[in-house]
Amino acid sequence: MTGQTHDAAGAAIRKREERKDFRSYAWGAGLALLLTLLPFALVHWPAVPHLALLAGIGVLALAQMIVHFRFFLHIGFEKNRDDLLLILFSALLLIIMVAGTIWIMASLALRMAMQ
């Protein structure tokens, strides 16, 4: 008898947890869709200056990446999240290598064009 009530309570908790997990994916899909439609619309119907448009595309892309990490991959700020540290470290490596490469090559192109 007590075992049965225990099972029922466990099932209710699981049901609640499942709804929570489902909401995570639903929110993720909704927000990602919004963050996809926005930049495509901005490019399809150009209304803002070129540089502002590029900056907007970048910001929206970054926002959508964070949405994917949070809602699809469930990365958060809980304790002992080595995965988050690894993302941040990889992002640091990427910034150093990618920005460095682009900087050097752009500088090279500029100097070659000047001669």
Partner 1 sequence: MSGETIKHPGLNLGCAHGKDHDAADRMLFGFWVFLMSDAILFGMVFASYVTSVNATAGGPGPRDLYDLRGVFIETLLLLASSFTFGMASLALKYEHGKTRLVGWLAVTLALGLGFIGFEVHDLLSMIGNGGAPGRSGFLSAFFDLIPLHGLHVAAGCIWLICLVGQIAVYGQDAKVKLGILRLALFWHFLDIVWIAIFSIVYLAGLA
Number of other residues whose CB lies within 10 A of the CB of residue 78 = 8
Per-residue x/- track, 21-50, partner 1 (CB under 8 A): xx-xx--xx--xx--x--xx--xx-x---x
Helix runs in 1-115, H state only: 2-44, 50-67, 82-94, 100-114
13 binding partner 1? (CB under 8 A): yes
Nearer to partner 1, 2 or 11 (CB): 11
**CA atoms lying within 13 Å on the CB side of residue 17:** 6
Shortest separation between residue 115's beta carbon and partner 1, angstroms: 17
* Residue 7 touches partner 1, criterion: CB under 8 A: no
Q: Does 98 bind partner 1 (CB under 8 A)?
A: yes
The contacts of residue 62 (CB under 8 Å, 6+ apart) are none
Tokens of residue 79, six digits: 């304790």
Please give the structure tokens belonging to residue 62: 């970054």
What residues line the site for partner 1 (CB under 8 A)? 13-14, 16-18, 20-22, 24-25, 28-29, 32-33, 36, 39-40, 43-44, 46, 50, 53-54, 57-58, 60-61, 64-65, 68-69, 72-76, 78, 81-83, 86-87, 89-90, 93-94, 97-98, 101-102, 105-106, 109
